């Protein structure tokens, strides 16, 4: 649907008229409008005054923090490197910065329709993740080596997030295919695994990977704690994503499989050339939702002892001089999460609407 | 294609399927056997005897919260049960509160009034888009930085908030009587559902009866010489009387309820949105009030599409209680994690933890399925 300028102004006029009618049509509606908008405006005023007008910005002015009623952003000015990069060596922070930019760029690029084919997305994410890993680890690029123990803050959160999505997506597809298989043992295996993992809290799964697996595995298979947790988290992601794929599979008419078979195509040809491209399209909005939820859920790794952005935030106000300013640090971290999650979520909503129109 | 090749192809395909399934089965069995073997070796090396015998041993450590009496001499089985009770308590209270709040906010999101709609949207977008654990530690930090009991923030001198938690008036009842009352009200709720009373009216009846029953019990069965209402009072450095809700519990219930209700509001809005316009317009044409249109047309129609995703949210809230360990609330995960550190019986304890969550989530799923079956339109 394309709109001309005249159309737009007319629609705006209609909207304003309807807004007046709905918001101020009766005396009661007017009173509610005034109260709610007044309350919202007052809250916004309080927030702006606290966060901007009365705030202290620079770390040098920390002495003034006691006098003002506003926020003391000095703590962010002084400690933002700790929050963003954890205990990563200070002089190597340019590497963390670039690595984080690589992951964020990967996520943003995936949102463009030009990237929407399985191959392009796979290449994009593998390249983005590899860039991150090479920069952070360093030894392969001839830089100073920093092992995963030294990673932290937002950089670690982004690492966990991208590794989980990258590993979990093919696992989810595999589980979804297994669940649709004609072979009863394969189907049962996928069903039990998916339902089992989905009934347990994420924390239980991650805790099992971190603490229980070393007992169950022979020592040569144990690996690093961080990789065990990533694989378990990816399995969790895969079990939910498999259900997303399953829903998308159900939207594909059965006749298409049969048409493929009648043409003499094998199982893998039917899947990769005929069915999966459509499945990915149908699954896109729910997949974005899953990715957003995964990013939010990474915050839980603080409990099993990782130095993620929430843990580094706690460390940032942990020292005596900054401890009164815990509120500013938490709000800073909450704002980081909020911006990521809100924008991705809105994008998912927009996509859902667009696809609903295309389907009509 | 002649017959033999087709037969050949069929046989080959059957054989391949058989081989794949056998392989998968074999790998699973080998993985399980391997895990058992290395568990035996690793446990032997650590000097731990497996089995559930440790459940009878005294724990020797204390934790933050329990609904019943506790001591450090409690055996493990009792401590674990208390933890399970704490999880269920926080879970069900949060489910109850966030369902009611979600219904209100979701209705506001569906409202034609732009201001109400805007306020609800702001609520949902704030609380849904920040990780739950961050909201919980944030709220916990704010609460423990509240002034002490002497300078507690108060509402009408009956409700106090201090760094010790929330103090509020309660009925002056002994624990046994309170428990009996709770069970009676639960039975009443089940009876109302079984008698097929419409959900909303049923809830109204239940609420009215609860208030009445509580008032009557408090008047009749109060402890010797006690007043009917017990109101918190500052005596020296601490509060006496009323109900004290510790900081951890306040932070848990509040954060889970805010987060959960934002999600449930979206579920409710989706359901209300799906009610055909014509039905509401028919209600308007009949001269029904907006309240009647909402309660008699929209909600009953919407419930059918709300209940399945609502059940998922309930299960999600139950699972979300595991964040308790981040703020020191002694839920089941906290207790299990502590027990593992103290006793070393990792495998047994993680098994109990998983079994408990499977049991609870399975029960909720069964209940939701049953509710769903009851709500579906009967075929004529």
For residue A244, pLDDT beyond 70: yes
Q: Is residue A64 situated within a structural domain?
A: no
Evaluate whether A246 touches A172 at the Cβ level (below 8 Å).
Answer: no
Q: Is residue A61 situated within a structural domain?
A: no
Same domain, A21 and A88: no
- Tokens 């030294």 belong to which residue? A150
Asked if the C-beta of A318 comes within 8 angstroms of chain B's C-beta atoms, the answer is no
> Do the chains contact at B24 and A185, CB–CB below 8 Å?
yes
Residue B380 has what pLDDT?
Answer: 46
> Do the chains contact at A310 and B362, CB–CB below 8 Å?
no
Burial of B164 (0-12, 13-18, 19+ CB in 10 A): buried
CB pairs under 8 A between A and B: 136
Among B115, B125, B141, select the one facing A36 at the smallest CB separation: B115
> Do the chains contact at B133 and A303, CB–CB below 8 Å?
yes
* Per-chain mean pLDDT for chain A: 88
Same domain, A108 and A21: no
For residue A227, pLDDT beyond 80: yes
Residue A106 has what pLDDT?
Answer: 93
pLDDT, tens digit, 9 for 90 and up, residues A177-197: 999 888 999 999 999 999 999
Same domain, A34 and A145: no
> Do the chains contact at A201 and B319, CB–CB below 8 Å?
yes
pLDDT, tens digit, 9 for 90 and up, residues A43-53: 999 999 888 88
Asked if the C-beta of A248 comes within 8 angstroms of chain B's C-beta atoms, the answer is no
The answer for A 3-22 residues in CB contact with B (under 8 A) is 19, 22
pLDDT, tens digit, 9 for 90 and up, residues B187-215: 888 888 777 777 677 888 888 888 888 88
Residue B249 has what pLDDT?
Answer: 93
* Per-chain mean pLDDT for chain B: 86
The residue among A83, A90, A53 whose CA lies nearest residue A71 is A53
Sign, CA dihedral A179-A181-A184-A189, equals: negative
pLDDT, tens digit, 9 for 90 and up, residues A252-279: 888 888 898 898 888 888 888 888 888 8
Q: Is residue A350 situated within a structural domain?
A: yes
Q: Is residue A254 situated within a structural domain?
A: yes
> Do the chains contact at B115 and A37, CB–CB below 8 Å?
yes
pLDDT, tens digit, 9 for 90 and up, residues B232-267: 777 777 777 777 888 999 999 999 999 999 999 999
> Do the chains contact at A215 and B39, CB–CB below 8 Å?
yes
pLDDT, tens digit, 9 for 90 and up, residues A58-102: 877 777 777 778 888 888 888 888 888 888 888 888 898 999 999
Structural domain span for residue A35: 5-56
pLDDT, tens digit, 9 for 90 and up, residues A17-45: 888 888 888 888 889 899 999 999 999 99
Evaluate whether A56 touches A62 at the Cβ level (below 8 Å).
Answer: yes
Same domain, A39 and A95: no
Tell me the ipTM for this assembly. 0.90
Evaluate whether B360 touches B88 at the Cβ level (below 8 Å).
Answer: yes
Same domain, A342 and A219: yes
Asked if the C-beta of A293 comes within 8 angstroms of chain B's C-beta atoms, the answer is no
Same domain, A181 and A49: no
Q: What percent of chain A has pLDDT over 90?
A: 41
> Do the chains contact at A199 and B357, CB–CB below 8 Å?
yes
Q: Is residue A224 situated within a structural domain?
A: yes
Q: Is residue A62 situated within a structural domain?
A: no
Same domain, A210 and A248: yes
Three-state secondary structure along chain B? CCHHHHHHHHHHHHHHHHHHHHHHHHHHHHHHHHHHHHHHHHHHHHCCCCCCHHHHCECCCCCCCCCCCCCCCCEHHHHHHHHHHHHHHHHHHHHHHHHHHHHHHHHHHCCCCHHHHHHHHHHHHHHHCCCHHHHHHHHHHHHHCCCCHHHCEEECCCEEEECCEEEECEECCCHHHHHHHHHHHHHHHHHHHHCCCCHHHHHHHHHHHHHHHHHHHHHHHCCCCCCCEECCEEECCEEECCEEECHHHHHHHHHHHHHHHHHHHHHHHHHHHCCCHHHHHHHHHCCCCHHHHHHHHHHHHHHHHHHHHHHHHHHHHHHHHHHHHHHCCCCHHHHHHHHHHHHCCHHHHHHHHHHHHHHHHHHHHHHHHHHHHHHCCCCC
> Do the chains contact at A330 and B25, CB–CB below 8 Å?
no
Same domain, A18 and A104: no
> Do the chains contact at A300 and B131, CB–CB below 8 Å?
yes
Q: Is residue A67 situated within a structural domain?
A: no
Same domain, A268 and A168: yes
Same domain, A13 and A122: no
Chain B residues close to A297, C-beta within 8 Å? 131
Among A186, A297, A310, select the one facing B20 at the smallest CB separation: A186
Among B25, B322, B346, select the one facing A201 at the smallest CB separation: B322
Q: Is residue A66 situated within a structural domain?
A: no
Give the least confident one: A99-108, A113-122, B124-133: A113-122
Same domain, A321 and A180: yes
Strand-strand pairing, B243-245 and B238-240: unpaired
CATH class, B76-169+231-375 region: mainly alpha
Task: Report the residue of A194, A203, A210, A346 to disrupt the B interface, i.e. the one with the largest count of B CBs within 10 Å.
Answer: A203
Residue ranges of domains in chain B: 76-169+231-375
pLDDT along chain B (380 residues), means of 10: 71 89 93 90 84 85 84 89 93 93 93 90 94 95 85 79 82 74 84 74 84 81 68 74 85 96 95 91 90 85 89 94 92 93 90 95 91 70
For residue A168, pLDDT beyond 80: yes
Counting the structural domains of chain A, the total is 2
The b/e string for B289-313 (b: 16+ C-beta within 10 A; e otherwise) is eeeebbbebbbebbbebbbebbbeb
């Amino acid at each position: 649907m394309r709109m001309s300028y005249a159309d737009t102004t007319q629609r705006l006029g209609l909207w304003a008229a309807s807004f007046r009618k709905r918001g101020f049509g009766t005396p009661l509606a007017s009173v509610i409008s005034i109260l709610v908008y007044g309350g919202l405006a007052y809250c916004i005023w309080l927030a702006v005054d606290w966060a901007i007008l009365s705030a202290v910005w620079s770390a040098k002015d920390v002495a003034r923090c006691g006098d003002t009623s506003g926020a003391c952003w000095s703590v962010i000015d002084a400690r933002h490197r700790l929050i963003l990069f954890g205990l990563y060596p200070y002089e190597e922070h340019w590497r963390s910065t670039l690595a984080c930019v690589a992951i964020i760029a990967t996520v943003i690029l995936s949102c463009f329709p030009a990237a929407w084919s399985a191959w392009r997305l796979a290449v994009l994410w593998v390249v983005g993740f590899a860039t991150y890993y090479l920069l952070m680890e360093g030894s392969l690029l001839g830089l100073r080596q920093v092992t995963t123990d030294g990673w932290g803050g937002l950089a670690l959160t982004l690492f966990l997030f991208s590794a989980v999505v990258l590993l979990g997506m093919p696992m989810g597809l595999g589980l979804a295919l297994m669940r649709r298989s004609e072979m009863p043992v394969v189907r049962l295996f996928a069903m039990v695994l998916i339902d089992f993992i989905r009934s347990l809290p994420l924390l239980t799964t991650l805790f099992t990977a971190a603490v229980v697996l070393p007992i169950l595995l022979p020592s040569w298979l144990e690996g690093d704690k961080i990789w065990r947790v990533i694989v378990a988290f990816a399995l969790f992601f895969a079990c939910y994503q498999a259900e997303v794929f399953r829903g998308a599979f159900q939207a594909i008419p059965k006749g298409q499989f049969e048409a493929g078979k009648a043409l003499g195509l094998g199982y893998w040809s039917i899947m990769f050339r005929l069915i999966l491209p459509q499945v990915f399209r149908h699954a896109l909005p729910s997949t974005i939702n899953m990715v957003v939820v995964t990013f939010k859920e990474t915050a839980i790794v603080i409990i099993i002892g990782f130095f993620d952005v929430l843990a580094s935030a706690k460390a940032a106000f942990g020292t005596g001089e900054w401890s009164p300013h815990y509120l500013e640090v938490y709000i800073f971290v909450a704002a980081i999460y909020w911006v990521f999650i809100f924008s991705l979520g809105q994008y998912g909503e927009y996509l859902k609407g667009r696809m609903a129109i295309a389907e009509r | 294609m002649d017959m033999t090749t087709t037969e050949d192809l069929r046989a080959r395909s059957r054989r391949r399927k058989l081989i794949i399934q056998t392989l998968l089965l074999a790998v699973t069995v080998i993985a399980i056997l391997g895990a058992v073997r290395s568990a035996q070796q690793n446990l032997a090396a650590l000097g731990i005897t497996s089995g559930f015998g440790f459940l009878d041993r005294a724990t020797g450590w204390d934790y933050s919260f329990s609904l019943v009496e506790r001591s450090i001499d409690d055996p493990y089985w009792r401590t674990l049960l208390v933890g399970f009770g704490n999880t269920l308590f926080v879970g069900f209270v949060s489910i109850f509160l966030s369902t009611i709040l979600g219904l209100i906010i979701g209705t506001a999101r569906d409202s034609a009034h732009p201001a109400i709609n805007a306020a609800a949207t702001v609520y949902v977008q704030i609380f849904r888009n920040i990780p739950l654990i961050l909201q919980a530690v944030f709220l916990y930090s704010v609460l423990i930085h509240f002034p002490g009991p002497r300078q507690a923030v108060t509402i009408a001198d009956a409700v106090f908030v201090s760094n010790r938690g929330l103090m509020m008036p309660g009925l002056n009842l002994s624990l046994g009587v309170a428990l009996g009352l709770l069970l009676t009200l639960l039975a009443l709720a089940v009876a109302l559902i079984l008698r097929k009373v419409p959900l909303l009216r049923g809830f109204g009846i239940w609420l009215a009866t609860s208030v009445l029953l509580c008032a009557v019990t408090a008047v009749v069965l109060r402890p010797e010489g006690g007043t009917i209402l017990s109101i918190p009072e500052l005596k020296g450095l601490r509060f006496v009387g009323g109900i004290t809700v510790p900081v951890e519990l306040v932070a848990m219930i509040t954060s889970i309820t805010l987060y959960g209700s934002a999600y449930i509001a979206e579920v409710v809005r989706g359901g209300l949105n799906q009610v055909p316009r014509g039905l509401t317009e028919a209600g308007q044409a009949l001269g029904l009030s907006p309240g009647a249109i909402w309660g008699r047309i929209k909600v009953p129609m919407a419930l059918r599409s709300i209940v399945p995703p609502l059940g998922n949210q309930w299960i999600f809230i139950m699972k979300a209680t595991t964040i308790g360990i981040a703020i020191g609330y002694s839920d089941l995960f906290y207790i299990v994690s502590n027990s593992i550190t103290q006793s070393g019986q990792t495998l047994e304890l993680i098994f109990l933890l998983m079994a408990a969550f499977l049991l609870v989530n399975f029960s909720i799923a069964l209940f939701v399925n049953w509710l769903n079956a009851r709500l579906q339109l009967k075929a004529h």
